[in-house]
């Protein structure tokens, strides 16, 4: 019995030593930020500097939208895809894509936040981001409108508005083609 204890006791100490020292050291791997200098939620919501939103341009195909989004649509109709996301414990957002003949015509985003300070911060970040991306923002009735008439693409606008209440932050963004009405030669 003593012989068994002599062999068993060192073995037990050896096993317990390795069990205690076998801690897995978790390395903090920082994800590469897409939007340096902006709130980290911009990386989740806007996702890409390419395109007008999430790497998409107006006129994108339905397949491109489905590839871009990481979840299945909550609602899917012939001319509409609707997605909902939880960004963190205080922030949710939805994206509503309007499609016509397999071509993206409009994007509507609503960001809801229970933290009013964070909501205000995100709104300012969105304004700054689109002010640097698109020319000549115009403030109109509480909304910021960015008109894009440059290049070969069809003219479009990005509209940002802060529709927050005293208890909830609500940011709305719409991206759509402009439907310009050109003046006629008739005199009025």
Share the mean pLDDT of the chain.
84
Question: What tokens does 157 get?
Answer: 């606008």
Task: Flag whether 1 is in a domain.
Answer: no
Tell me what pLDDT residue 26 has. 57
Residue ranges of the chain with per-residue pLDDT less than 70: 1-29, 150-153, 179-188
Task: Flag whether 148 is in a domain.
Answer: yes
Q: pLDDT tens-digit profile of 34-64?
A: 999 999 999 999 999 999 999 999 999 999 9
Task: Flag whether 68 is in a domain.
Answer: yes
Residue 12: enclosing H or E segment and its boundaries? helix 2-21
* 104-113, strands of its sheet edge to edge: 75-77, 80-86, 91-99, 104-113, 169-177, 156-162, 143-148, 138-140
What's this model's pTM, rounded to 2 decimal places?
A: 0.78
- All residues at 6 or more sequence positions from 161 whose CB lies less than 8 Å from its CB, including other chains: 142, 143, 144, 171, 172, 173
Dihedral over Cα of 99, 100, 106, 110: its sign: negative
User: Is 69 within 8 Å of 83 (Cβ atoms)?
Assistant: yes
Task: Flag whether 107 is in a domain.
Answer: yes
159: β partners = 145, 174
What dihedral angle (degrees, nearest 10) is formed by the CA atoms of 38, 39, 42, 47? Answer: 70
Task: Flag whether 82 is in a domain.
Answer: yes
Tell me what pLDDT residue 105 has. 96
Task: Flag whether 71 is in a domain.
Answer: yes
Domain boundaries, position 166: 41-177
Task: Flag whether 9 is in a domain.
Answer: no
Domain count, the chain: 1
Give the C-alpha separation, 51 to 150, whole Å.
Answer: 14
Task: Flag whether 187 is in a domain.
Answer: no
Q: Phi-psi region for residue 121, left (φ > 0), alpha (ψ -120 to 50) or beta?
A: alpha
């Amino acid at each position: 019995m003593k012989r068994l204890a002599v062999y068993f006791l060192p073995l037990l100490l050896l096993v317990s030593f390795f069990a205690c020292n076998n801690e897995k050291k978790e390395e903090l791997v920082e994800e590469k930020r897409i939007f340096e200098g902006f709130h980290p939620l911009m990386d989740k919501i806007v996702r890409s500097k390419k395109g007008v939103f999430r790497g998409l341009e107006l006129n994108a195909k339905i397949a491109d939208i489905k590839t871009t989004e990481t979840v299945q649509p909550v609602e899917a109709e012939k001319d509409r895809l609707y997605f909902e996301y939880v960004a963190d414990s205080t922030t949710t957002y939805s994206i509503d894509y309007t499609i016509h003949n397999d071509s993206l015509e409009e994007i509507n985003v609503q960001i809801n936040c229970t933290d009013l300070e964070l909501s205000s911060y995100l709104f300012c970040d969105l304004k700054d981001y689109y002010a640097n991306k698109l020319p000549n923002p115009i403030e109109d009735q509480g909304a910021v409108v960015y008109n894009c008439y440059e290049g070969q693409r069809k003219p479009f606008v990005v509209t940002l508005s802060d529709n927050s209440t005293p208890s909830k932050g609500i940011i709305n963004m719409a991206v759509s083609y402009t439907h310009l009405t050109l003046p006629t030669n008739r005199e009025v």
